[in-house]
Structure 1
Amino acid sequence: MKLIQVLKLFGLSGYEARALVALISRGALTAKEVAEISGIPRTSVYDVMKSLLSKGFVETYGKPLKFKALKAEEIISILKRRVNNNLDYLKQELPKLETKEVDEIIIYREDLVLEKLRQLVLESRKVIMGIASYIPTEVRKILENKSKGCKLILVSSNATEVEGAEAYEFKRKEEILSKFKDFCHGLFVFDEEKTLVIFLNKLKIGVLSENDGVIQFSKMLILSLIEFIKQ
């Protein structure tokens, strides 16, 4: 019977579907009558009715105890609500299981490099991690303009100059400053979702990646360097 098969798709067992159909078609019945009409074994019928009660599809009354199904439209409403709840859950949880396959890299040049850095800083909400040989004024101002709740962790020869940053500076700071102050090579991770490598010298180049392997490697590199500096 197709009706039984469809009800099973909504989470009812075969016995539950048969009992519910019997109650809808015949009205109020005792457990014995449900068993006789639906063909459910008497040894199982009370457990079946108890389950339908717990699912909200039937009501009980009187002596001897009788079972009565809700109206068809009420049953459909319950099923529809449960389906919608399950769909909402799937919409929320299934995307979390998807493997993010983003191997594309995007290259920015000249003024677009700092524009992209500014955009990523403003979009970040959790944490920005970065390592740079030297942080020039233009980069410092961009980093300081991060959102209020976003944490900023920096490793550089002049990281302490960046306001609001958790700063770690290289041990050979003066030597590095003398060699690298005229340009900036840096690697930044934004909310563990994107990485941006920047080269600021006579030419300005930025390389953006959303590859999870690159992101995790970059994060590990920065954290390892921080641990080394702390020693």
Structure 2
Amino acid sequence: MFSQLNPQLIRNLERLGLTENEAKVYVGVVSLREATAREVHELTNVPRAKIYEVLKVLAKKGYLEVRQGSPTYFRAVDPKQVIGKIKDEFINCAIEALDQLNELSYELPKTSPVWCIQSEWGIKNRIREILSGVKEELIVFSSSPEFLQEFEAELKKLEKTCHLTLIVNELERFKLLPFEFRETTKEFTDFITNIVIDGIRYDEEFFIIADGKESIGVHSAGNKREAVVIKLPVVCYMQKMIYDRVLEPSFIKKDLNSV
């Protein structure tokens, strides 16, 4: 019987703040329309020792209605109302938390100029944050057309407002993207795709230097992706010099009409 419950639905309800058992029980009662604790237990496999407590909590939250009797029956409140309530509470909580965080004014030591980001969302969010602050010059290196394409809209805007240099390791692989590209030397391409440290292979996928003051490098380490952000102008200057020296003289210009 338990297989009838949608695992993705349970996970989504957990992300909205329900415990796993609360999510299973609420889904179970919705499925049964109205049911006894025993029927919910048989459908969801939530332990009998916990089922009454979970039903009581959901009723207290306003997600279930109760009809006292022998046995007691439970009926789910309309899911639209329940999810709407959760959404309103979530938004209010987020707004309140943001206001409280913005009010914090502790005296902290000077922040580190080097940070590591390991979540996919965090990496892309940080890149977009850096791109939104570029004023004069942006240098971009990519060995992944798919990853570069994630930021196509931001880069097209920056083409008009700053000096943009786009560097890739293989021109042919980027021909469908509407940009002008510079290509690195074969030696540099071989170098960035064959870095092995302590048995782990590192591949540089994406690198940007913004206004010569801040850089972020994205690389895969084994089967994980991570990024390193550096806010040291002297380091960014040296990074820029490296890319200046590894460029092939060839230059490709995309004809947008041919795409």
TM over 0.5: no
Normalising by structure 1, report the TM-score. 0.44
Normalising by structure 2, report the TM-score. 0.40
Give the number of the structure whose residues are more often strand, by fraction.
2
Larger Rg, first or second structure (1 or 2): 1
